[in-house]
Chains A and B, each alone.
Chain A
Amino acid sequence: GESVGLHLPTLSVQEGDNSIINCAYSNSASDYFIWYKQESGKGPQFIIDIRSNMDKRQGQRVTVLLNKTVKHLSLQIAATQPGDSAVYFCAEEGATNKLIFGTGTLLAVQP
């Protein structure tokens, strides 16, 4: 079946450091992946996406890496800021056209 999971439920980093949030997926047929940021009491916000024909995609301060061989996805945030503190979810979409979410990682940025 489809499932998406995260290795680390909580990640604590110092302000200014780089953050890496990891995600494992089990459905090799998934071909589209998204990272979302969710602040407390709010809906998730889109950060960046990547299709399975790519290994890396960069945005503003964020980079997503996709390793299809080991079915692993990561989100890198450069120069982490206090405003980056939130829960981060990865999500996958495959042949069923359903968007499936992982359990999330809480990123805590220490001043």
Chain B
Amino acid sequence: DGGITQSPKYLFRKEGQNVTLSCEQNLNHDAMYWYRQDPGQGLRLIYYSQIVNDFQKGDIAEGYSVSREKKESFPLTVTSAQKNPTAFYLCASSIASGRRTEAFFGQGTRLTVV
């Protein structure tokens, strides 16, 4: 089945550690996005990528890093510089940024700092 897969579903991080969240899609989409969602809040854009080997900062990029070496994959690293990383992280993809088509979402990764 075609879709977008995030892993792991739950992730625990110790203070000062970097962790990487996986996002893979087999929809042949050019554009991919990472959002952060806090309890009872909306989605805030962390990073987005319109094409392989290119990405742009969203509204809350500080403390996060991404790479887009393959069309199918857009991993997000939460670094120790992110002071409040506990949140629900959502990855999405769309055919192409600017094409005005809907974005498809993964099921999310819930990150907790312990």
Q: Which residues on A are within 8 Å of B, measured CB to CB?
A: 31-32, 34, 36, 41-46, 49, 51, 89, 93, 97-104
Binds A, one of B13-21, B37-45, B65-73, B78-86: B37-45
State whether B42 touches A103 (Cβ < 8 A): yes
Tell me the complex Cα distance, A34–B103, Å: 9
Instruction: Count contacts on B: residues with CB < 8 A to the other chain.
Output: 25
The contact of A44 among B58, B94, B105, by CB within 8 Å, is B105
Q: Which residues on B are within 8 Å of A, measured CB to CB?
A: 6, 33, 35, 41-45, 48, 50, 58, 90, 92, 94, 97-98, 100, 102-108, 110
State whether B105 touches A99 (Cβ < 8 A): no
Give B63 Cβ to nearest chain A Cβ, in Å: 19
State whether B43 touches A51 (Cβ < 8 A): no
Give B69 Cβ to nearest chain A Cβ, in Å: 21
State whether A49 touches B42 (Cβ < 8 A): no
State whether A46 touches B100 (Cβ < 8 A): no
Given contacts A51-B100, A93-B100, A99-B33, contact A42 B108 (CB under 8 A): yes
State whether A43 touches B106 (Cβ < 8 A): yes
Given contacts A51-B100, A89-B43, A101-B35, contact A42 B107 (CB under 8 A): yes
State whether A97 touches B50 (Cβ < 8 A): yes
Tell me the complex Cα distance, A24–B50, Å: 27
| Beta-carbon nearest neighbor of B44 in chain A | A101
Tell me the complex Cα distance, A100–B33, Å: 11
State whether A98 touches B100 (Cβ < 8 A): no
